[in-house]
């Protein structure tokens, strides 16, 4: 049985570790420190932690102000509030000014569960991806999250790191490479490529296993960085495998599926399927039932691969 751990806990732990080695790191939150897990940092470094109360817009602008005084600022809240409610502040105060602010936005997607559709961001990747200067990362597991946080601190500029509430499988280890903007191939195969991000990477691995038993060999690509997208990895997958399926815990409009479609269009002509949320809002329920309801399991990925392969 694989280790189970949420990426938000890994995010909080990574910040606390980062705080010990980088005194230029400041952390901001908007009254959700015990949900985004920035509390781990706040407990260790209270003098480098700012709580802005339930005022996400003010937090984003103030984070930009702090960052422009030479600090690396991690600002956290739920993805729906950070990418949605404070979109304009992220755009004008952080991206437009090129502030060194990292948005660690949690509770993304239906896996946030019972809080329901008002809290389940399904469009955050799409929103953040349209912003000039913004880097968008959706780590696949807790181990990769720590690498992403440390890489973010070493890389100047606005960045969105997507974290999840749900404890999920750890599928990478310390030796798995992580470089912003560079896709990681977790499994080789020649019949189809599954390009996934976030918690759907584990589902993609399960689907690949099921398909292998049927004689369909899949390349599984962990596209942890959605922007800048590793276009080379996408085009190589099209060339080598001849069919592509994307998988994300996000709307199929504008997220990873949209980004991969943009990379393929005009450059490669292969069967292409997108697994994700089909232009719907979320709702209350257990994460497991919601994953089934919204088609976010290995089963849907495997079906999409079969459809794509049949079209070759």
Partner 1 sequence: MANFEAKAKQIRADVVDSLYAAQSGHPGGSLSCVEILLALYENGVVRYDPKNPKWEERDRVVLSKGHACPTLYAVLADVGFFPREELLTLRKLGSHLQGHPDMNKCPGVDASTGSLGQGMSMSVGYALAGKRPEHDFNVYVVTGDGESQEGIVWEAAMAAAHYNLDNLTVLLDHNGLQIDGTNDQVMSLGDIVAKYAAFGWETCVVDGHDVDAIAEACKAPRCGKPRFICCNTVKGKGVSFMENQVGWHGKPINEEQYKAAKAELGV
Binding site for partner 1 (CB under 8 A): 50, 52-53, 55, 57-58, 60-71, 88-89, 92-93, 96-98
The answer to whether residue 56 is catalytic is yes
Nearer to partner 1, 95 or 152 (CB): 95
Nearer to partner 1, 82 or 113 (CB): 82
In which region does residue 98 sit, left (phi positive, over 0), alpha (psi from -120 to 50) or beta (all else)? left
For residue 297, give the nearest of 127, 167, 110 by alpha carbon. Answer: 110
Q: Which is nearer to partner 1, 96 or 150 (CB)?
A: 96
Quote the least distance from Cβ 110 to partner 1, whole Å: 30
User: How do 192-196 and 225-227 pair as beta strands?
Assistant: unpaired
Query: Are 194 and 219 in contact, with CB atoms under 8 Å apart?
Result: yes
Min CB(157)–partner 1 separation in Å: 12
**The pairing of beta strand 168-169 with beta strand 4-5:** antiparallel
Q: Cβ closer to partner 1: 64 or 244?
A: 64
Of the candidates 56, 169, 248, 249, the residue annotated as catalytic is 56
**Cα distance between residue 202 and residue 1, in whole Å:** 13
Least gap, CB of 90 to partner 1 (angstroms): 11
Positions marked catalytic: 56
């Amino acid at each position: 049985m694989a280790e189970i751990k949420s990426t938000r806990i890994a995010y909080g732990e990574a910040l606390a570790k980062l705080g010990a080695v980088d005194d230029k790191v400041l952390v901001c939150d908007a009254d959700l420190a015990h949900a985004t897990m920035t509390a781990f940092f706040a407990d260790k470094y209270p003098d480098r932690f700012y709580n802005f109360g339930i005022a996400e817009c003010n937090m984003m602008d103030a984070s930009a102000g702090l960052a422009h005084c030479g600090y690396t600022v991690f600002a956290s809240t739920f993805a729906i509030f950070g990418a949605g409610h404070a979109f304009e502040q992220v755009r004008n105060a952080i991206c437009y000014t090129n502030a060194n602010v990292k948005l660690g936005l949690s509770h993304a997607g239906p896996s946030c569960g019972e809080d329901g559709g008002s809290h389940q961001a399904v469009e955050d990747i799409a929103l953040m991806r349209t912003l000039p200067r913004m880097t968008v990362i959706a780590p696949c597991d807790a181990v990769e999250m720590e690498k992403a946080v440390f890489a973010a601190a070493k890389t100047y500029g606005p960045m969105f790191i997507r974290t999840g509430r749900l404890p999920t499988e750890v599928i990478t280890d310390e030796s798995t490479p992580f470089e912003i903007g560079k896709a990681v191939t977790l499994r080789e195969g020649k019949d189809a490529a599954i390009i996934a991000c976030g918690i759907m990477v584990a589902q993609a691995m399960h689907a690949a296993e099921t398909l292998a038993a049927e004689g369909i060999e899949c390349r599984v690509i962990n596209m942890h960085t959605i922007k800048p997208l590793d276009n080379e990895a996408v085009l190589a997958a099209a060339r080598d495998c001849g069919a592509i399926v994307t998988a994300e815990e996000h709307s199929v409009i504008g997220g990873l599926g949209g980004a991969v479609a943009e990379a393929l269009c005009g450059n490669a002509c292969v069967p292409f399927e997108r697994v994700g949320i089909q232009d719907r809002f979320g709702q209350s329920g257990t994460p497991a039932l919601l994953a089934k309801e919204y088609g976010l399991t290995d089963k849907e990925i495997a079906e999409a691969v079969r459809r794509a392969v049949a079209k070759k």
